[in-house]
Amino acid sequence: MTRQAQHGFVTSLESAWDGTCLDANLEHTLHEGRPLWVRYDLPGVGRAASREALAARPLTMWRYRELLPFPLGREPVSLQEAVTPLLRTDRLAAELGFRNLWIKDESRLPTGSFKDRGMAVAVNMALGFGRRRFIAPTNGNAGGALAAYASAAGAEAFVFMPRDTPTPNVIECMQYGAHTYFVDGLISDCGRITRDLTEELDCFDMSTLKEPYRIEGKKTMGLELAEQCDWSLPDVIVYPTGGGTGLIGMWKAFGELRELGWLRADTLPRMVAVQSDGCAPIVRAFEAGQRLAEPWENARCAAPGIRVPSAVGDFMILDAVRDSGGCAVAVPDDRIATWQRLGTGLTGLSICPEAAACIGALITLRDRDLVAPDEKIVVFNTASAHKYDHTYPCDVPVIDPSRPVRPQLRL
Ligand SMILES: Cc1ncc(COP(=O)(O)O)c(C=O)c1O
């Protein structure tokens, strides 16, 4: 714990495990090994902001600033984190046997993934605490986002990633000027290296849920979704789950909106956590009725963002899924590339492998009667397909220039 800052309507930090309250004006990481929630003076937020007042604000995630941990009078370091579109996808819906399927397309954010939301808030908070050096383990996208915000802030980033991280992610981190390292291992090994170096390099540790602020940035996915749906939430949210910050953040957002009285109905969406059968610790714990998830051995996954063998916020993910009446679903890893092609081909969106896993999960949800054909479903496309180079085989036909070309027609 060091240094002082004032953070808008934030009242305290609270242990997600045992409710211990800590001073939000001091810098904290985990409390006794468990993550912290940021708590707000919600009646105060309700007096300072309203659904109507929001309508006049610029279309960036900072429109929800009363519900973010950031000094109200200051301007954040920002890359213009635009509100991402929510698109109805009728062709994909018809293919999968649904009638009301939507995709929230996070690929439009500055570095092409939803990780920008969390890093935007966390980097600003760390700067507020006087920090200029950040460190994180990454499966790719978080590293890219951290590197970008560090670059925008004139700060320094250290990122540690598995050796098989997609090349576009690696290049991105290097181009933004981050100290970029491969680790012969998985993200959990990168996490251990990060932990060992944090103090030595005098860094602010940006590891998933080891600081309380990234989750607050991710919360804006839920706030935006609520506003885009005119304050009536969908029936089901299908989300690719690794460390869990996106799912936990959205669930927190819905709780805060309900407490503020901004939602039209009290029912909240059923949250579906999607993993691959090559790395499904949350699904296994969900099915076994456990609150904590055992680490997954020999994790493999075609969608790097959800190859997380052990999540420090496992119980927060499982609590959110269970409280919402949702479920956790594992899909066959070897089908992810096929679903990516299907999703991209039927939507025109740049579908990432993690969202492709969610498309596969929709088939399971349909077959197990866990979601009805008419229910309103929102899938999160958490990143752009351009950030990956391993799931898409370039099996294009080769033309001999000396022969006539006869393309195959589809329509
Ligand atoms: C594209 C993508 N989707 C989903 C995830 C899972 O993130 P989380 O479970 O922390 O929200 C990640 C994490 O790296 C990711 O990069």
Which pLDDT tens digit goes with each residue over 175-227?
Answer: 999 999 999 999 999 999 999 999 999 999 999 999 999 999 999 999 999 99
The number of the ligand 1 atom at minimal distance from the alpha carbon of 141 is 16
Q: Under a CB-based contact definition with an 8 Å cutoff, are residues 358 and 325 in contact? A: no
Q: Is 358 part of a structural domain of the chain?
A: yes
Report how far residue 178's alpha carbon sits from residue 20's, in angstroms, rounded to the nearest whole number.
35
Report how far residue 24's alpha carbon sits from residue 26's, in angstroms, rounded to the nearest whole number.
5
Report how far residue 161's alpha carbon sits from residue 187's, in angstroms, rounded to the nearest whole number.
7
| Cα 402 from chain centroid (whole Å) | 50
Q: Is 304 part of a structural domain of the chain?
A: yes
Residue nearest to atom 15 of ligand 1 (CA): 305
Dist. CA 240 → ligand 1 center (Å): 6
Instruction: Count the helices and strands in the chain (H runs, E runs).
Output: 13, 13
Q: Is 64 part of a structural domain of the chain?
A: no
CATH number of the domain to which 312 belongs: 3.40.50.1100
Q: What is the best residue among 104, 105, 114 to mutate for testing ligand 1's pocket, by most ligand atoms within 8 Å of CB? A: 114
DSSP string, 156-173: EEEEEEETTS-HHHHHHH
Q: Under a CB-based contact definition with an 8 Å cutoff, are residues 248 and 317 in contact? A: yes
The CA-to-CA distance between both ends of the chain, in Å, stands at: 64
Of 372, 292, 288, 267, the closest CA to residue 330 belongs to 288
Report how far residue 214's alpha carbon sits from residue 313's, in angstroms, rounded to the nearest whole number.
13
- Is 212 near ligand 1, meaning CB less than 6 Å away? no
- Is 207 near ligand 1, meaning CB less than 6 Å away? no
**Hey, what's the torsion of the CAs at 119, 121, 32, 203, to 10 degrees?**
60
Q: Is 143 part of a structural domain of the chain?
A: no
Token pair 């999960």 is found at: 361
Dist. CA 1 → ligand 1 center (Å): 28
Q: Is 336 part of a structural domain of the chain?
A: yes
Over residues 323-332, mean pLDDT? 98
Q: Is 255 part of a structural domain of the chain?
A: yes
- Is 328 near ligand 1, meaning CB less than 6 Å away? no
Dist. CA 402 → ligand 1 center (Å): 47
Handedness of CA 365, 366, 370, 375 (dihedral sign): positive
- pLDDT reported for residue 390: 82
Residue nearest to atom 14 of ligand 1 (CA): 305
Dist. CA 400 → ligand 1 center (Å): 42
User: Domain limits at 369?
Assistant: 86-112+213-387
The answer to pTM > 0.85 is: yes
- Is 242 near ligand 1, meaning CB less than 6 Å away? yes
In the chain, how many domains are there? 1
The number of the ligand 1 atom at minimal distance from the alpha carbon of 246 is 11
- pLDDT reported for residue 7: 81
Residue 1 tokens read as: 């714990």
- Is 120 near ligand 1, meaning CB less than 6 Å away? no
- pLDDT reported for residue 49: 96
Q: Is 253 part of a structural domain of the chain?
A: yes
- Is 137 near ligand 1, meaning CB less than 6 Å away? no
Dist. CA 140 → ligand 1 center (Å): 9
The lowest-confidence range among 3-12, 15-24, 42-51, 379-388 is 3-12
Dist. CA 63 → ligand 1 center (Å): 23
- Is 13 near ligand 1, meaning CB less than 6 Å away? no
Distances (CA, A) of 306 to 261, 268, 284: 34, 24, 14
Q: Under a CB-based contact definition with an 8 Å cutoff, are residues 105 and 386 in contact? A: no
What confidence tier does 88 reach under pLDDT thresholds 50, 70, 90? very high
- Is 144 near ligand 1, meaning CB less than 6 Å away? no
Q: Is 320 part of a structural domain of the chain?
A: yes
Report how far residue 116's alpha carbon sits from residue 42's, in angstroms, rounded to the nearest whole number.
25
Provide the percentage of residues in the chain whose pLDDT is more than 70: 99
